Amino acid sequence: MKTSKDKEETEAEKNAPPVKKETDSNSIRPELAEVIARHAFGLDENRPDAVAKRQQKNQRTARANVEDLCDTGGFVEYGTLAIAAQRGRRSLDDLISKTPADGLIAGIGSVNGSLFGDDKTRCMVMAYDYTVLAGTQGYFNHKKMDRMLKLAQEQRLPLVFFAEGGGGRPGDVDASGVMVAGLDLSTFASFAGLSGTVPVIGVVSGYCFAGNAALLGCCDVIIATKNSNIGMGGPVMIEGGGLGVFKPEEVGPMDVQTQNGMVDIEVADDVEMVAVAKQYLSYFQGTTSQWEAADQLRLRDLIPENRKRAYNVRTVIKALADTDSFLELRPKFGPGMITGFLKIEGRPFGVIANNCMHMAGAIEAEGADKVARLMQLCNVHGLPILSLCDTPGFMVGPEIEKRAQVRHVCRMFVNGAHVTVPYFTVILRRGYGLGAMAMAKGGFHESIFTVAWPTGEFGGMGLEGAVKAGFKKELVAIENLEEREALYEKLVAQLYERGKAINMASYLEIDAVIDPADTRNWIIQGLKSAPARQPQESSHSFVDPW
């Protein structure tokens, strides 16, 4: 029987501070030791042969790439202890040693924390591990991916996806009791469902075929190293379909996939691949407080005084943007148009620009596709758009119509009409015809503002063509060729005088003619005056894979 004194001692023991027990710091309970050992099997330092094979190909391991992408200590891995569904054909020890994480490293990390702070940098990361069964898609890594995609959707986490691998894995015999073809998987639909909800970034170093390529093709942007090969089917599938025998290097090499526009950004190696992925993601993480810019007076002299001379519009973009902030997409595809991202005073923008060094800046089908897709990207994720116009209009002629020109270029009108983010148009030089209207969101009064530099010139079509078409009878009537040429030049000069920027502004067809050095200020002030809009208010809910 307890006495009152016993009760007092019991209360005292309850309220007393915990007593530290002497323990052996090297003594670990067996169950914890087992967990630590299992995790260790997947670490690069315990897989020297796998690491060496990657190094021989000038590639890093999947874990090294994930570690480089994420801030130090900022990655929390899910499903580390998974192994391949092959217990029926291999020993458990062999699977633990050779198939760590079932070939898919997945988790949530922090990216660019030094720029934006922890609250804006959480990111879903999934990386196929080529050192595990050639990065193939196994039963359990599909299950893991489904889990992670659900979290990404629920928590609105951007996704960085390392896609290297060979597609489906036929050797997972343990799954034969629960599936036949596996075509009822939710992975692909869930992955595609992220489009327009969060930024989805696909990166590749090496071979990427079949199922891995199908996921990669759903991404907003594809960043690939120069040694990559990407295709909807690899050599095994091609041969199985009776289509011939090919080496992996012959299927979808980069000189093909950059020219046709499938790959957005080609990089030298894994190091640059991760660096560019971090840069791309930064445009969707907010505004940076630290930035530098070139002397804006340079802009006054970047357009040649001779209106017929070409110039490099990339030089204009880089001078206008914050230093080192311009990232171009698909530079080898649709070369008549430049698209990408930049920052002005630390604020991210999408940018489109005509390239007068290719077909004088006339808009072709492929360039229009680039612009339409950038409009979608910016619209769903809430980035304002800056348009730098210098075009004689849409390309015309029998040959261009073979490329479905009408349908492709009109994507600019349709997408532009549905853009709800702030849109700013700056006419650098030529603004002619329907092409110039498409660059300005459908018309010169559709943008937040449409302004021109003093070098701006305008017309319903190119001035020279307008004279030849409009004054054909008068010109043909003059037999003396010198006199005919003199009249032609006189009429062109009259049209140029009528269509130059300052006269356009006097008719209020554009909003202003500005000093090029004031362009950044116009853009920032325009952004401040534009109504705020959340990305979910976009009228287009996904990003077209093309």
H or E, element range at 381: helix 365-381
> Hey, is 450 helix, strand or coil?
strand
Q: How far does CA 287 lie from the centroid of its chain?
A: 18
Q: Go through 411-447 and write b for each residue having 16 or more CB atoms within 10 A of its CB, e for each that does not.
A: bbbebbeebbbbbbbbbbbbbbbbbbbbbbbbbbeeb
Cα gap 245→259, rounded to integer Å: 24
CATH architecture type of domain 30-282: Alpha-Beta Complex (3.90)
Q: Is 134 left (phi over 0), alpha (psi -120 to 50) or beta?
A: left
The rounded radius of gyration (Å) of the Cα atoms in the chain is: 30
Would you state the pLDDT for residue 20?
Answer: 44
- Which pTM value belongs to this model? 0.90
Strands 265-267 and 327-329: unpaired
DSSP codes, 54-111: HHHTT---HHHHHHHHSPTT-EEEESTT---S-TTTS-HHHHHHHSGGGGEEEEEEE-
Q: What is the CATH number of domain 296-456+500-537?
A: 3.90.226.10
Same fold flag, 30-282 and 296-456+500-537:
yes
Residuewise pLDDT in 10s, the chain (546 residues): 455 555 544 554 455 445 444 445 568 898 899 899 889 888 989 999 999 999 999 999 999 999 999 999 889 999 999 998 888 899 988 899 899 999 999 999 999 998 887 678 999 999 999 999 999 998 899 999 999 999 999 999 999 999 999 888 888 887 877 777 777 788 999 999 999 999 999 999 999 999 999 999 999 999 999 999 999 998 888 888 899 999 999 999 999 999 999 999 999 999 999 999 999 999 999 999 899 999 999 999 999 999 889 999 999 999 999 999 999 999 999 999 999 999 999 999 999 999 999 999 999 999 999 999 999 999 999 999 999 999 999 999 999 999 999 999 999 999 999 999 999 999 999 999 999 999 999 999 999 999 999 999 998 877 777 777 778 888 888 888 888 888 888 888 888 888 899 999 999 999 999 999 999 999 999 999 887 766 556 666 888 887
Q: How far apart (Å, rounded) are the C-alpha atoms in residues 168 and 183?
A: 11
Structure tokens at 21: 């027990």
Beta bridge pairs of residue 106 = 78, 126
Q: How far apart are CA 67 and CA 111, in angstroms?
A: 10
What is the pLDDT at residue 331?
Answer: 97
- Taking a C-beta distance cutoff of 8 angstroms, is the pair 542, 194 a contact? no
Longest dimension (CA), the chain: 132
Beta carbons of 162 and 219 less than 8 angstroms apart = no
pLDDT of residue 511: 97
* In the chain, domain spans: 30-282, 296-456+500-537, 463-498
Residue 335, token pair as written in the block = 């070369």
